Structure 1
Amino acid sequence: MSKIDPKLRNKLLKESQAPYKGLRRVLWIAFSGSAFLGLLIMLTRIASGTELQQNNLLIQLGACVIFPTLLIFDRNKD
């Protein structure tokens, strides 16, 4: 039959079922970090008395919820 190592075969099958999973996880982590850093900067501006548009704050809060959620859904189901 096949002369491929069973561990390598399983790894290749997983990769073919979920391509670029590692890249997606790196992107979700980077986007989450960026969203939280942006929110921290916005909160410090609000604390210093600078007025911000409410839309910008809502977008930042949405990003802080969506990107970590995507990271959680993309984890291994094993």
Structure 2
Amino acid sequence: MSKIDPELKKKLLKESQAPFNGLRRILWIAFSGSAFLGLLIMFFKMSSGSALQQNNLLIQLGACILFPSLLFLIGKKID
């Protein structure tokens, strides 16, 4: 007979199947924040009249879409 609480056992089993979900969530939050901050800075540069390369803007927009999407998908997997 196991003396481990069933809730704790479920939690430990879930953690052993995907051990770095918490770390991934923190990284996606940090990357999302960085992407949105970079996009905000780019918009301020554009509003001041400075010329920006279109490729850089597209990369920044892609990051602003990708990282929150990954955060959302991982959140769905964890729950």
- Please state whether the residue corresponding to 1:49 is helix, strand or coil: coil
Aligned residues: 78
In 2, Cα distance between equivalents of 1:32 and 1:23: 14
In 2, Cα distance between equivalents of 1:19 and 1:73: 16
Residue in 2 that maps onto 1:3: 3
Residue in 2 that maps onto 1:27: 27
In 1, Cα distance between equivalents of 2:41 and 2:50: 11
Residue in 1 that maps onto 2:12: 12
Question: Deviations along 1:29-66, whole A, 9 cap, x unmatched?
Answer: 00000000000000000010000111110000000000
Deviation at residue 25 of structure 1 after TM alignment? 0.4
Structure 2 segments unaligned to the other structure (5+ residues): none
User: What is the aligned-residue RMSD (CA, Å)?
Assistant: 1.1
Residue identity over aligned pairs, in percent, reads 73
Residue in 1 that maps onto 2:55: 55
In 2, Cα distance between equivalents of 1:51 and 1:41: 13
Deviation at residue 24 of structure 1 after TM alignment? 0.5
TM-score for the superposition, normalised by structure 1: 0.94
Please identify runs of 4+ aligned residues in structure 1 that moved more than 4 A.
none
In 1, Cα distance between equivalents of 2:49 and 2:56: 16
